[in-house]
Amino acid sequence: MTRRLLRLAVTAALFVVPVSAFAQTGTVVDWGPDCYAYESNYNPATYISAAGSSLNIVGVVNGFLGPLGSIDPNGGTEYTLYMTGMTSAGTVITPGVFANTYRTVYNGGSFQIWEDTPRDAAFGTNPPNATVPSSFTDGSLFLSGFYTSLTVTFSKQNSNQQILGGNADTGEPSVANGVFTGGSALPLVSIGGRGCPFRITGGWLAKPGNFPTGYTAHFDGKIDINCPTETTPSTWGKIKSQYRD
Amino acid sequence: MRMRNYFVLMAIVAAVSLPAKVHADQFLADFRGFDYEDPNNTPGFGNVGDGYNSLGFVTQVNPALLTCNFGANEYTYQFKDLSAVSTETNAPFLFVLYSNGRFRIFEDAIGGGTAADYGTNPPNAVAPSTFADGTIILGGVVSNFVLTIDLTNNNGSFNGDIAFDEGTQQGSIPAAQLNGWTFAGLTSGGGTGTPAGYVHQVDGEIRVPDVTPTAPTSWGKVKNLYRH
């Protein structure tokens, strides 16, 4: 009898463990052609961000997926992105034969997505300006969160001096690296009343001619969620009872 | 006379300087998907001889260049036939250079069509087939394709040129814009939702050169611009 119960308990534990693994992953927010970065001390001729430079990003969301998938960002209501509070640690160049690689870690940061009608976001030029970030931070707060850093990496091909598209990433999602913290959609990306971990990542384009005057890069990115399935405290007795006839 | 020479010189300098205006590129299509290697002759990613493939969804297009009805159709993309021909390690970065391949955008009816499905461990019964069905609305030869990977975290990016040469909407793109290019960020690890057997989450765009109108003129007319 004891052996049978032990077997049942072990079986039950095997069923419980996989359920507590990360269960909700993938993209929940996406943006594409309408998203640009600007910073306070960036040299567009050398592609170098000076240590201490402040990075900001404004954009227009073009897709909601997963738990946010029922919301249409391309209708009459506009959803705009504002990422701010990122401080450059300075660009580090890794020289190579094919290309030199430029990497900048921006420490700190938070994002906000604002819900607004009518659609009025305008990038203008030389931000901050009369419409940036103001036309991206009007309306009501839809979703917000913080992260610890954003790492931007891209290369310059040596044969033709062309800037190649790169990558931006806040890193592995974890409670320490960043979680959703606010906005009307927070319950949709929370578990047990706490915001889920996320990562912001995507393509980064510092190639001149691909962003308005005064901006420093184009960011085609998204927010990925990594949310554990909710668990409920229980007892071995309750688990065993589920396997009794 | 000396003054006149000065103005001519100014005109030449100005004429030479004007083209230095930053060349602008134009958005064509936004895509999001995953990548995998097939064939994958050598364990690990980006080895010479391995084939690079990417599948996913087209999420937005430039309506001035492509006509898409996202309410009625599913739009998918495919990169294929890219074979790694050489690599360069520049720690922590790996550059992988590829032979020419092909890029395509497909239109498939949501009602009556086949919903795209990644499945696992591609190629499989549903991928790439459910991404490469329907009508090819735009496609082209991919060249100068290079992939950059950070070996410490397996994240990276890709770049390549695309010469559009097929598709029902090829004709809607002006001839001067048929030589486009692509870039994407590649991310692996937590949160990306990468299906088993795929390597990176891919998020990027197709862009084309913007066409800036020019008007033929003469040196005399240019000089006149600088005369009182």
- Residue B70 sits at φ, ψ, to 5 deg, of -70, -15
Angstrom distance (rounded) from CA B77 to CA B60? 12
Q: Is the dihedral of CA B27, A103, B79, B121 positive or negative?
A: negative
Please give the pLDDT value at position A240.
72
On chain A, the residues whose CB falls within 8 A of the CB of B92 are 94
Within 10 A of B161 (CB to CB), how many other CB atoms are there? 15
| Tokens coding A145 | 């969160």
Those residues of chain B whose CB sits closer than 8 Å to some CB in chain A are: 22-25, 27, 30, 32, 59-60, 62, 88, 90-93, 95, 97, 146, 148, 150, 153, 155-159, 183-187, 189-193, 201, 203-205, 207, 210
Spans of chain A, pLDDT less than 70: 1-23, 229-234, 239, 242-245
Q: What is the dihedral of CA A55, A56, A59, A65, to 10 degrees?
A: 80
Please give the pLDDT value at position A1.
46
Within 10 A of B23 (CB to CB), how many other CB atoms are there? 13
Q: Which residue of A has its CA nearest to B201?
A: A202
Q: Is the dihedral of CA A208, A211, A217, A221 positive or negative?
A: negative
For every residue of A144-213, DSSP letters joined together read: EEEESEEEEEEEEETTT-PBPPEEEE--S--TTTEEEEESTTGGGGEETTEEPBEEEEEEEE--TTSS-T
User: B86-122 burial, b for 16+ CB within 10 Å, e for fewer?
Assistant: eeeebeebbbbbbebbbbbbbbbeeeebeebebbeeb
Please give the pLDDT value at position B218.
66
Long-range contact set of residues A120-124: C-beta below 8 Å, sequence gap at least 24: A120/A78, A121/A34, A121/A58, A121/A60, A121/A78, A121/A80, A123/A34, A123/A36, A123/A58, A123/A212, A123/A215, A124/A212
Give which of A147, A30, A138 is closest to A83, Cα–Cα: A147
> Taking the model in full, what pTM does it have?
0.85
Give which of A71, A73, A70 is closest to A62, Cα–Cα: A73
Tens of each residue's pLDDT in chain B, 228 residues: 455 555 555 444 444 434 334 458 999 999 999 999 999 999 999 999 999 999 999 999 999 999 999 999 999 999 999 999 999 999 999 999 999 999 999 999 999 999 999 999 999 999 999 999 999 999 999 999 999 999 999 999 999 999 999 999 999 999 999 999 999 999 999 999 999 999 999 999 999 998 765 556 666 666 666 665
Within 10 A of B211 (CB to CB), how many other CB atoms are there? 12
Please give the pLDDT value at position A24.
87
Angstrom distance (rounded) from CA B217 to CA B39? 54
Window 21-80 of A: residues touching B by CB (8 A cutoff) are: 22, 25-27, 30, 32-33, 62-63
Please give the pLDDT value at position B225.
61
On chain A, the residues whose CB falls within 8 A of the CB of B30 are 32-33, 62, 220
Find out whether the peptide bond into A128 is cis, omega within 30 degrees of 0.
yes
Please, which residues bridge with residue B74 across strands? B108
Please give the pLDDT value at position A179.
96
Q: By the CB < 8 Å criterion, does A226 face chain B? A: yes
Cα B199 from chain centroid (whole Å):
19
Window 138-177 of A: residues touching B by CB (8 A cutoff) are: 153-155, 157, 164-169, 171-174
CB B184 within 8 A of CB B149: no
Cα B166 from chain centroid (whole Å):
15
Please give the pLDDT value at position B33.
98
Amino acid at B62: N
Relative to beta strand A99-107, strand A149-157 is antiparallel
Of the candidates B157, B159, B205, the beta carbon closest to that of A32 is on B205
Q: Which of B147, B159, B198 to mutate to test the interface with A (most CBs of A within 10 A)?
A: B159
Please give the pLDDT value at position B13.
42
